[in-house]
Chains A and B, each alone.
Chain A
Amino acid sequence: MKKPDEMLNDVNLKPKVLDWMNTKPEFHKGTYLYSAPLKHQKYLELPNPREWHPTDTDWKLPKNWKEIILNGMADLLKKHRSFRLFLDICVRCGACADKCHFFLGSGDPKNMPVLRAELLRSVYRRYFTTGGKLFGMLAGARDLDENVLKEWFYYFYQCTECRRCSVYCPYGIDTCEITMMGRELLNLVGCNVQWVIEPASNCFRTGNHLGVPPHAFKETLEFALGELKDITGISIETPINRKGAEILFVAPSADYFASPHWYTLLGYLMLFHEIDLDYTWSAYASEGGNFGLFHSPELTKSLNAKIYSEAKRLGVRWILGGECGHMWRTIHQYMDTFNGPADFLEEPVSPVTGTPFENAKSTKMVHICEFTSDLIYNNALNLDKTRNDKFKITFHDSCNPARSMGLLEEPRYIIKNTCNHFHEMPENTIRERTFCCGSGAGLGADENLEMRLRGGFPRANAVKHVHEKHGVNMLACICAIDKAALPPLLDYWVPGIGVCGVHELLGNALIMEGEKERTANLRGEPLIEEEAVEDV
């Protein structure tokens, strides 16, 4: 692995090449994803199942692959008004060029959102517009051939669908949608990646990405309860598949399987116990995340359907969702349209404060940060901020909650009420202008590490700024992929900074009825820093 300085030396934000249409993609080690395993291609019944690898010369495409792609494109153009519009109206003003984290971290001109879209747009012009058919190159059109397809694969899997560029585009062109369409087309000829298809296939079968079967799911939650008993001295219970509960709770599976997500899970469990919430988990719908979103609307819808169907079977009134990024894009943007109407549920109302969540009155699913900030606002929780005193926090807006949902204030409100030290990163790197972690949209694979580190550089760079200025040592976020991707990323660019969920901070600060004196935080670390103890 290259050192940070070497990595940055490769980056030139002023590209020297003058022509992009005829350059061929090179699959450098560390910058591309492996193909989907045959077993999972077959399980999900994907087109053209086969063993293949992106570095192969022959991708074993179907004989009529060009026809498949062009028909697929015609179909997408019919289905999505946005797609045709975004292909037509770009004026190549270049405002988006230096907004993409992958361009800023790699200097590869085809990672400028405008050029990434031109990869598809040039083919659209050639086959679907009069100008392109007549004037070819002069109208910015080019033929579809295997190199173009390989280029699509390389660059549409170098986009995390974070939508930062669309914030700056004067026409609101959403490169995320272009990438989504590009990936749909690639799927039609069987070009899928392992890191998307395997979790999706697991989720289809077992209900979660990691393929955790129901009994292991229960054991994991019980293990968490055991830990909480040690920390708080309180025996907590958590129900699974319980009929007649008021609320179904759905979290990303990483919360009960990965670290530092785990401490966020502890936070949820403590909170639900403390307010005596009438809720249940589901082992069938044990995944909030949805890797189908990085593949096709059909797969997204199929995986997402479990949440409503389980809510109906268990007879709950409404649904509460944990901290996750793309899970919330799916729920906020698509769930109701895909699998609604949720007329068997009721409009969500907080059982503790009586606040109706009007913003979720149709989808009937509430984000846990909305729920918790309402509790805090109504003084329903006892909080001791000093228990988070060893942390100097900054908040990383995760792309999807920030840009797709507009969930900007709620997590900050929780942090400010649970911590004494909070510092914002520079304003053009937060809120709706936040930088992606570089590993979203199915790119988080190990084989793609170099590209992930490059993509995460702008984020890490902003963290470094507050680390040096305010001594920030902990980054809070509300996305499961962030929590997995940011620790190695920050270790690489700015060592010495931890990553936590917002509900971990809440769990630390939450004063529970009947708890023993708390000496350690949820990570089992002493509440007061050792140096401080020595000073006394």
Chain B
Amino acid sequence: MTSEILFFRSLFRNDKAELKGTQGLTYDSSKLLWLGGLAFHWSLIIILARHMRFFTEPVAPCIIFLQNIDGMFQLGSPAFYISGIFIFIALMYLLFRRIAFPRIRLISLFSDYFVLFLVLGITISGFLMRHFYKVDIYAVKRIIMGILIFKPLTITDIGLIFYIHIFLVSILFAYFPFSKLMHTGGVFLSPTRNLKNDSRMKRHINPWNYPVKVHTYEEWEHEFRGALKEAGLPVEKKR
């Protein structure tokens, strides 16, 4: 279960079936979805953790440590975060496969693209905010802290890009409980993954296990008594 959630164990063993003329079906290992999925989700959680510095004062040391690791390639200033690059590449791949692979394209719904574009929008606006249209992050932190203690401040000169970013994030949060994004919690609840296969060792109780009509031995013997006797098989009642 742990490896399932942290490393996507089931996706790791994914393979790809292809029908080739003379050989029939062949199977190749297929790890790109696993890689894309893993890169996306891990980057996401690191980015979310890094954002904690906007919500807490003082900032927890582990968050600063994580930030330093993530930004260890000090390319330019401010440093590029590895997670930012990874999440962008992963998202582009996930989007690419929805459009380019016929099977995935067929099963994709509007809502699948919607979330992808939403997260992509958040990533891009965040990236732009950090590296190009710089905003006053002290002001940002004051706004956020203000909201958190229910005393919102009005600061106007903070830059449009920040409001785009926070607007998209708000949509994501609002959309979350009504969508497939609930897989976040759902994966912990999946009975095929979190239950032990011990149903012959331990009795499991079903709360709605109501009685059903059965064909009892007595009814059965009654119908076949003649045949049973003739064949010399034991019977409970003589007639």
In the complex, how many angstroms separate the beta carbon of A280 from the nearest chain B beta carbon? Answer: 10
Query: Smallest distance from the beta carbon of A391 to chain B beta carbons, Å?
Result: 24
Q: Chain A contacts of B204 at CB under 8 A?
A: 336-337
In the assembled complex, A420 has its CB within 8 A of some CB on chain B: no
CB contact under 8 A between A215 and B228, given known A174-B192, A359-B201: yes
- Residues from chain B with a CB closer than 8 A to the CB of A171 are 183, 186-187, 190, 193
Residues of chain A contacted by B155 (CB below 8 angstroms)? none
Taking a contact as CB atoms under 8 Å apart, the answer to whether B212 and A301 are in contact is yes
Q: What are the interface flags for B194-211 relative to A under an 8 Å C-beta threshold, 1 for contact and 0 otherwise?
A: 000111111111101100
Query: Given A11-B19, A309-B216, is A214 in contact with B233 using a C-beta cutoff of 8 Å?
Result: yes
List which B1-60 residues lie within 8 A (CB) of chain A: 4, 8, 10-11, 13-19, 24-25, 27, 33, 37
Report if A218 contacts B (CB, 8 A): yes
Contact A88 B180 (CB under 8 A): yes
A94 to B103 Cα, complex, angstroms: 8
B186 CB contacts on chain A under 8 angstroms: 85, 88-89, 171
B92 within 8 A of A: no
Q: Report the contact-size class of chain A (Cβ under 8 Å from the partner).
A: 35 or more
Which residues of B are found within 8 Å of A218, using beta-carbon distances? 231-233
**Complex interface: chain A residues within 8 A of B200 (CB):** 331-332, 336, 359-363, 365
A509 at the interface (CB under 8 A from B): no
Q: Which residues of B contact A458 (CB under 8 A)?
A: 17, 25
Q: Is B101 an interface residue (CB 8 A)?
A: yes
How many B residues, CB 8 Å from partner? 70
Contact residues of A: prevailing secondary structure = helix
Asked if residues A118 and B107 are in contact (CB atoms below 8 Å), the reply is: yes
B92: min CB distance to chain A, Å? 16
Query: In chain A, residues 290-347, which have Cβ atoms closer than 8 Å to a Cβ of chain B?
Result: 298-299, 301-302, 305-306, 309-310, 313, 331-334, 336-338, 340-341
B234 at the interface (CB under 8 A from A): yes
Q: Does B157 contact A (CB under 8 A)?
A: no
When A138-B111, A359-B201, A361-B201 are in contact, do A131 and B11 touch as well, CB less than 8 Å?
no
Q: What 1/0 mask marks residues of chain A from 397 to 434 whose CB sits below 8 Å from any chain B CB? A: 00000001110000000000000000000101100010
Contact assessment for A16 and B102 in the assembled complex, using a CB-CB cutoff below 8 Å: yes
Partner pick for B233 among A129, A283, A302, CB 8 A cutoff: A283
Residue B61 at the chain A interface, CB threshold 8 Å: no
Given contacts A168-B10, A172-B192, A214-B224, contact A109 B199 (CB under 8 A): no
Stretch of A25-33, A236-244, A374-382, A517-525 that contacts chain B: A236-244
Does chain A have a CB within 8 A of B214?
yes
A340 vs B209: C-alpha distance when bound (angstroms):
11
**Residue B215 at the chain A interface, CB threshold 8 Å:** yes
> Contacts A15-B103, A92-B107, A97-B107 hold; do A457 and B214 have CB atoms under 8 A apart?
no
Known A140-B109, A457-B25; further 17 A-B contacts with Cβ < 8 A:
A20-B107, A82-B192, A94-B33, A94-B104, A95-B14, A95-B33, A97-B107, A98-B103, A115-B106, A138-B111, A172-B192, A214-B228, A302-B215, A331-B200, A337-B209, A363-B203, A405-B197
List the 6 shortest-distance A-B pairs measured between CB atoms, nearest first: A89-B186, A172-B192, A215-B231, A140-B109, A172-B193, A363-B200
